[in-house]
Structure 1
Amino acid sequence: MVLERWEKQLNDLFEGQPCDMYDAALSDTVSKYPVDIQPFRDMIEGMRLDLRKSRYNNFDELYLYCYYAAGTVGLMSVPVMGIAPESMASTESVHNAALALGIANQLTNILRDVREDARRGKVYLPQDELAQAGLFEDDIFLRQVTEKWRSFMKGQIKRARMFFDKAEKGVVSLTRLVDGRYGHPYCYMGRSCMQLKLMTISL
């Protein structure tokens, strides 16, 4: 199976035995920075999860999916970007912020892509919170934009912004953000994306 093959290639490249030029590029990065293999393994596990799961009972389940899909990317990035010494930030606080940024971005993607995901038979929204809001899956599949739906979505957007807030306190300590090489901070871009994509709160 493809994912098993990717997993083997991942292990090989971390041992300095890449199988192609793409793996060679990552293997080179791994040799230069203290990159941990676990977030890469977790991302592959998230792909497995997405193949077998199309509903999420609560936010705890959705959070785990968001971690697999994007929180892992944040953790992969920290060793490469580095923590600016002048920031005085702890490694743990920066890792937590990078994780929060990944979660925030994935939640934004989910809220942006509700219609597209529904077409594929997937609902990446907490089922218990939909029920508490008096909403059913038919409201999503039939694209019924009601006041209940708008109120529900506002709550989901508020949660994503909370993760952006948490991220903003730590990712600014990353060296390549402090020295200006990466232009606008990622949190600012994420917030802008959220405003542009979700302001209508529609299906």
Structure 2
Amino acid sequence: MTTLTLQQAYQHCQQIVRNHYENFPVASWFLPKKLRLPISVIYAFARHADDLADEGELNDSERYKALEHYQADFEKALKDSYSDNPLFFALTDVIKNHQLPTNLFFDLLTAFKMDTKTKRYANFDDVLNYCHYSANPVGRLLLHLHKQNTAENLQNSDAICTALQLINFYQDIHQDIQENNRIYIPTNELAQFNITEQHFSEQINDVNMQRLMQFQTERAEKLMLSGTILGQQLAGLFGLEIRMIIQGGLAITYKLQKISNVFDRPRLTSRDKFVMLWHALRKTT
């Protein structure tokens, strides 16, 4: 039997990135070349878990079991420092070489498993708890890769990543319920604005719905702004990348607040991207 080489394992992960190029963070190409490969491996890990949670014809129970098997295989790879699965073989090498906390990978898997079981959130704290697992580990891993994982940086990164996750929710409010029966806006806030689930499934764009989404986006914007100092403090290409990510989130938030139909998905134009880069280079918001 042919033994899998580390080079083959990394090539496998790079192919996953190429297959999902449209979803791979464009700003990551601002990163130092030496970090693009480990980031592609981390992306491949999360991408496959996301596919298990959302893609295909499995029911939620089957998806949960598939994610449990995925986690067990990952745990075995960590124990053995090897796996016949090229993704896990490459990932264990990345974790070892960059001294990455393994709990952050388990946090991501927790979020994917939550998606198979939790379809509604009672309050905003519950949504923040989900973001703690689904979004914050990504920023923390980037900081660990760059050896910039101070307590202050981690806190600011959490604010940015949670805000980005919320903004992503607000772009997909109809798609989430239509495709996965999920609503990420707290049920107590739906009641506060006299919103029913039919607003989401039937795309009812009335005044109450507009007020609800204005409230959501303004809160996400404040959260994003609370973490922007991270982009100012990080130097070099990594700092530029973080500032571009922040600018992108703020640009989408602005469009969400100005859009007439809350179910329309905003798009960034070439001009928007130029303005984002201008602010990122000047370190302004």
TM-score grouping bracket, smaller chain normalisation? 0.7 to 0.9
1:54 is aligned, of 96, 119, 144, to 119
- Structure-to-structure mapping, 1:25-64, within 5 angstroms: 25-64=90-129
The gaps in structure 2 that reach 5 residues or longer are 1-64, 264-285
1:91 maps onto 2:156 in alignment = no
Identical positions, percent: 21
Query: Which residue of structure 2 aligns with residue 202 of structure 1?
Result: 262
1:77 is aligned, of 104, 121, 142, to 142
Query: Which residue of structure 2 aligns with residue 159 of structure 1?
Result: 219
Amino acid aligned to 1:135: I
Moved runs in structure 1, 4+ residues, more than 6 A?
Answer: none
Cα distance in 2 for partners of 1:49, 1:57 equals 14
RMSD (Å), alpha carbons: 2.2
So what's the TM-score if we normalise by structure 1? 0.86
| CA separation of 1:174 and 1:14: change in aligned 2, threshold 3 A | farther
Amino acid aligned to 1:143: Q
SS at structure 2 position matched to 1:185? helix
Greater RCO (Cα-Cα under 8 Å, separation 6 or more) = 1
Cα distance in 1 for partners of 2:151, 2:244 equals 20
The gaps in structure 1 that reach 5 residues or longer are 84-89
Amino acid aligned to 2:145: V
Query: Which residue of structure 1 aligns with residue 250 of structure 2?
Result: 191
Contact 1:42–1:68 at 8 Å: present in 2 too?
Answer: yes
| CA separation of 1:8 and 1:175: change in aligned 2, threshold 3 A | farther
Cα distance in 2 for partners of 1:75, 1:129 equals 29
Amino acid aligned to 1:2: A
Cα distance in 2 for partners of 1:185, 1:81 equals 17
Cα distance in 2 for partners of 1:17, 1:197 equals 45
SS at structure 1 position matched to 2:84? coil
Query: Which residue of structure 2 aligns with residue 145 of structure 1?
Result: 205
Cα distance in 2 for partners of 1:173, 1:34 equals 23
Cα distance in 1 for partners of 2:201, 2:189 equals 17
1:68 is aligned, of 133, 138, 149, to 133
Query: Which residue of structure 1 aligns with residue 168 of structure 2?
Result: 109
For residue 64 of structure 1, report the CA deviation from its aligned partner.
1.1
Amino acid aligned to 1:3: L
- Quick check: 160-169 or 102-111, which moved more? 160-169
1:10 is aligned, of 74, 97, 100, to 74
Contact 2:121–2:187 at 8 Å: present in 1 too?
Answer: yes
For residue 171 of structure 1, report the CA deviation from its aligned partner.
4.2
So what's the TM-score if we normalise by structure 2? 0.63
For residue 165 of structure 1, report the CA deviation from its aligned partner.
1.0
- Quick check: 51-60 or 158-167, which moved more? 158-167
- Structure-to-structure mapping, 1:111-126, within 5 angstroms: 111-120=170-179, 121-126=181-186
Amino acid aligned to 1:40: F
Deviations 1:42-94 (A, max 9, x none): 111111111011110100111111222111211222101232xxxxxx81110
Contact 2:231–2:242 at 8 Å: present in 1 too?
Answer: no
Contact 1:117–1:123 at 8 Å: present in 2 too?
Answer: yes
Amino acid aligned to 1:45: T
Cα distance in 2 for partners of 1:54, 1:178 equals 35
Cα distance in 1 for partners of 2:213, 2:186 equals 11
SS at structure 1 position matched to 2:227? helix
